[in-house]
Chain A
Amino acid sequence: MMAPTLSCAGLSLPDDQDPLGVWDLHTPRMGPRPSHGEVYAASAVAEAPQAAREGGFDGLIWTVAHPAEVQGRRAAREARSMLRGQRVAVARRDGALDLIEPRLTALSLVPAFGARVGAHEAALLAEVTALQTGWGRDGIASVAMSMSSGEAAALSHRQMFQQVERMEEARKLLVQLRRLVYHWAWIETQIGGERIALTTVDWGGDYQTTWIERVTEQQMDLHLDAVRLALASRLALLRLITVAVTGALELALKASVPGGQILLIPAVYRYVRDLLEELGDLPVSGLPSWRAEPTVA
Chain B
Amino acid sequence: MSDEVRLMFEEPLIFNGINAVTGDYGQAPMSAHKLARLIRGAPSPEDYREFVERQRRLAILTQLESRLTRVSDAESALREADAAASLEELGFKARMQAPFPVKPGGGDPTRVEEVGWAVMFPADMHPRVREEIKEALQPLLDLRREQAGDLFRLYEGGDAYRPGERKDQLCERLGVSPGLVDPREMPFYVLLIGTPEEIPYSFQYQLDVMRGVGRLDFGTDIEAYAAYARHVVAADTGDVTLPRRAAFFAPVNAGDRATKLSAQYLVRPLIENLGVTAPAHELALAYDWELSAPYVGDGLATREQLGRLLGGEASEMPALLFTAGHGLEFPAGHPAQETYQGALLCQDWPGLGREIKREHYFAGEDVAEGASMLGMVAFMFACYGAGTPQLDQFAVQAFKVREQIAERGFTAALPQQMLKRGALAVFGHVERAWGYSFISPSGRPANQSFITAMRMLMNGDPIGLASDASFNMRYADLSSDLSADLDELQWDADHMDDYELVHRWTANNDARGYIVLGDPAARIPFDRTEGGESPRTSPKTSRVFETVTSAGPRGGRGADDAGVRFSGVVDAAPPTHEAEVAPPWTEARLMPRAGEMGDISGADAAVAFGLADQFERLRESLRAFTDQLATSLGRAAEDIITLDVRTYSTRDIARVAAALEAREEIDATLRALTRVAFNGDLKVYVPERYDGEVDADLWEVHKSMVEEAQQSRARFLATMAELATRLLESLKIGP
Q: Which residues of A contact B (CB under 8 A)?
A: 27, 30, 32-33, 35-36, 39-44, 47-49, 55-57, 139-141, 144-145, 147-148, 150-153, 155-158, 160-161, 163-165, 167-168, 170-171, 174-175, 177-178, 181-182, 186, 188, 195-213, 215-217, 220-221, 223-224, 227-228, 231, 234-235, 238-239, 241-242, 245-246, 248-249, 252-253, 258-259, 261-263
Say whether B649 contacts A205, CB under 8 Å. Answer: no
Q: Does B561 contact A (CB under 8 A)?
A: no
A-B contact pairs, 8 of them (CB 8 A): A47-B353, A139-B735, A150-B603, A171-B621, A178-B624, A200-B660, A211-B647, A234-B716
Q: Does B548 sit within 8 A of A, measured CB to CB?
A: no
Q: Digit string of B600-644 for contact with A (CB within 8 Å is 1, else 0)? A: 011111110111101101100110110011001001101110111
| Residues of B contacting A: mostly | helix
- Is A235 a contact of B719 with CB atoms below 8 Å? yes
Are A164 and B11 closer than 8 Å at their CB atoms?
Answer: yes
Residues of B within 8 A of A252 (CB): 733
Q: Whole-angstrom distance from the CB of A12 to the nearest CB of chain B?
A: 11
B58 to chain A, nearest CB (A): 9
- B192 nearest CB across to chain A (Å): 37
Is B723 part of the binding interface, using a Cβ–Cβ cutoff of 8 Å?
yes
A213 interface neighbour in B629, B650, B729, Cβ under 8 Å: B650
Chain A contacts of B56 at CB under 8 A? Answer: 42
Chain B nearest CB from A109 CB (Å) reads: 17
B30 at interface by CB-CB < 8 Å = no
Q: Mark B1-13, 1 if CB is under 8 A from A, else 0.
A: 0001001101110
Q: Is the CB–CB distance between A44 and B353 below 8 Å?
A: yes
Query: Is B735 within 8 A of A42, CB to CB?
Result: no
Contact of A147 among B611, B635, B649, B668 (CB under 8 A): B611
**In the complex, A49→B624 CA distance in Å?**
10
Tell me, rounded to whole Å, the shortest Cβ–Cβ distance linking A24 to chain B.
Answer: 12
Q: Which residue of B lies closest to A228 (CB)?
A: B708
**B388: shortest Cβ distance to chain A, in Å?**
21
Contact of A42 among B24, B60, B607 (CB under 8 A): B60
Q: Select from chain B the residue with minimum beta-carbon distance to A236.
A: B719
Q: Is B709 an interface residue (CB 8 A)?
A: yes
Question: Is B607 within 8 A of A170, CB to CB?
Answer: no
Given A39-B60, A47-B354, A174 and B611 contact (CB-CB distance below 8 Å): no
Check: B651 CB closer than 8 A to any chain A CB: yes
B611 lies within 8 A of A160 (CB): yes
The answer on a CB contact under 8 Å between A212 and B649 is yes
**Lowest 6 A-B CB distances belong to which pairs?**
A204-B639, A205-B713, A259-B735, A157-B7, A57-B661, A161-B11
Query: Whole-angstrom distance between the alpha carbons of A163 and B353 in the complex?
Result: 21
A217 with B697: CB separation less than 8 A: yes
Does B632 contact A181, Cβ atoms closer than 8 Å? yes
> Assuming the A-B contacts A212-B651, A220-B698, are A206 and B602 also in contact, with contact meaning beta carbons closer than 8 angstroms in the complex?
no
Pick the residue among B591, B605, B646, B719 that contacts A209 (CB under 8 A): B646
B350 to chain A, nearest CB (A): 11
1/0 per residue, CB under 8 A from A, across B643-678: the answer is: 111111111011011101110001010010000000
In the bound complex, residues from chain A placing their C-beta under 8 Å from that of B354 are 47
B-side contacts of A30, CB under 8 Å: 22
Contacts of A203 in B (CB 8 A): 632, 635-636, 639
Please name all residues of chain B whose beta carbon is closer than 8 Å to the beta carbon of A200 when the two chains form the complex: 660
B722 within 8 A of A: yes
Is A224 within 8 A of B24, CB to CB? no
Nearest neighbor of A15 in chain B, beta-carbon distance: B46
Q: Say yes or no for B439: interface residue by CB 8 A criterion.
A: no
| B contacts, CB < 8 Å to A | 4, 7-8, 10-12, 19, 21-24, 28, 56-57, 60-61, 353-354, 588, 591-592, 601-607, 609-612, 614-615, 617-618, 621-622, 624-625, 628-629, 632, 635-636, 638-640, 642-651, 653-654, 656-658, 660-662, 666, 668, 671, 697-698, 701-702, 704-706, 708-709, 712-713, 715-717, 719-720, 722-723, 726-727, 729-730, 733-735
Residue of B nearest to A47 (CB): B353
B611 touches A144 (CB 8 A): yes
Assuming A56-B661, A150-B603, is B643 touching A204 (CB within 8 A)? yes
For residue B643, which residues in chain A have a CB less than 8 angstroms away from its CB?
A: 204-206
Instruction: Contact check, B735 vs A140: say whether CB atoms are below 8 A apart.
Output: yes
**Known contacts A200-B660, A207-B646, A178 near B625 by CB under 8 Å:** yes
Closest to A210 in B: B648
Q: Which residues from B are CB-within-8-Å of A212?
A: 649-651, 653
| Closest CB in chain A relative to B600 CB, distance in Å | 8
Report whether B733 and A261 are in contact in the complex, using a CB–CB cutoff of 8 Å.
Answer: yes
A238 contacts across to B, CB distance below 8 A: 716, 719-720, 723
Task: Please give, as numbers and ranges, the residues of chain B lying within 8 Å of A195 by CB-CB distance.
Answer: 653-654, 657
A residues near B658, Cβ cutoff 8 Å: 33, 35
Contacts of B653 in A (CB 8 A): 36, 195-198, 210-212
Contact A215 B646 (CB under 8 A): no
Q: Say yes or no: B723 contacts A213, CB within 8 Å.
A: no
Contact A164 B22 (CB under 8 A): no
Give the interface centre of B57, B60, B735 by most chain A CB atoms within 10 Å.
B735
Report yes or no: A170 in contact with B602, Cβ–Cβ below 8 A. no
Contact of B621 among A174, A207, A258, A261 (CB under 8 A): A174
B654 touches A35 (CB 8 A): yes
How long is the Cα–Cα vector from A64 to B629 in the complex, in angstroms? 27
Chain A: minimal CB distance from B665 (Å):
12
B4–A157 contact, CB under 8 A? yes
Q: How far is the CA of A227 from the CA of B53 in the complex (A)?
A: 29
- The answer for the CA separation of A153 and B608 in the assembled complex, in Å, is 13
Q: CA of A57 to CA of B84 in the docked complex: distance in angstroms?
A: 53
CA distance A175 to B657 in the complex (A): 26
The reply to whether A163 and B651 contact each other, CB–CB distance below 8 Å, is: no
Contacts of B716 in A (CB 8 A): 205, 231, 234-235, 238
Cβ-defined partner of A204 (8 Å) among B635, B702, B720, B727: B635
List the A residue with the shortest CB-CB distance to B593.
A150
* B591 partner residues in chain A, CB cutoff 8 A: 150
Of all chain A residues, which has the CB nearest B5? A157
Chain B residues near A40 (CB-CB < 8 A): 60
Q: Which residues of B contact A249 (CB under 8 A)?
A: 726, 729-730, 733
Interface contact B628-A148, CB-CB below 8 Å? no
Contact A175 B621 (CB under 8 A): yes
Q: Is the CB of A210 within 8 A of B666?
A: yes
A205 touches B639 (CB 8 A): yes
| B726-A242 in contact (CB<8A) | yes
Q: Which residues of B contact A182 (CB under 8 A)?
A: 628, 632
Residue from B24, B622, B702 within 8 A of A174 (CB atoms): B622
> Complex: how many Å from CA A224 to CA B698?
12
Inter-chain pairs besides A211-B649, A213-B650, 14 sampled, C-beta below 8 Å: A43-B61, A44-B28, A148-B612, A152-B601, A174-B624, A204-B713, A205-B717, A206-B709, A209-B646, A211-B671, A241-B723, A242-B723, A262-B622, A262-B735
User: Contact at A153–B603, with CB atoms within 8 Å?
Assistant: yes
- Partner among B607, B615, B708, B717 whose Cβ is within 8 Å of the Cβ of A167: B615
**Closest Cβ neighbor of A172 among chain B residues:** B621
Question: Is the CB–CB distance between A141 and B735 below 8 Å?
Answer: yes
Contacts of A43 in B (CB 8 A): 21-22, 24, 57, 61
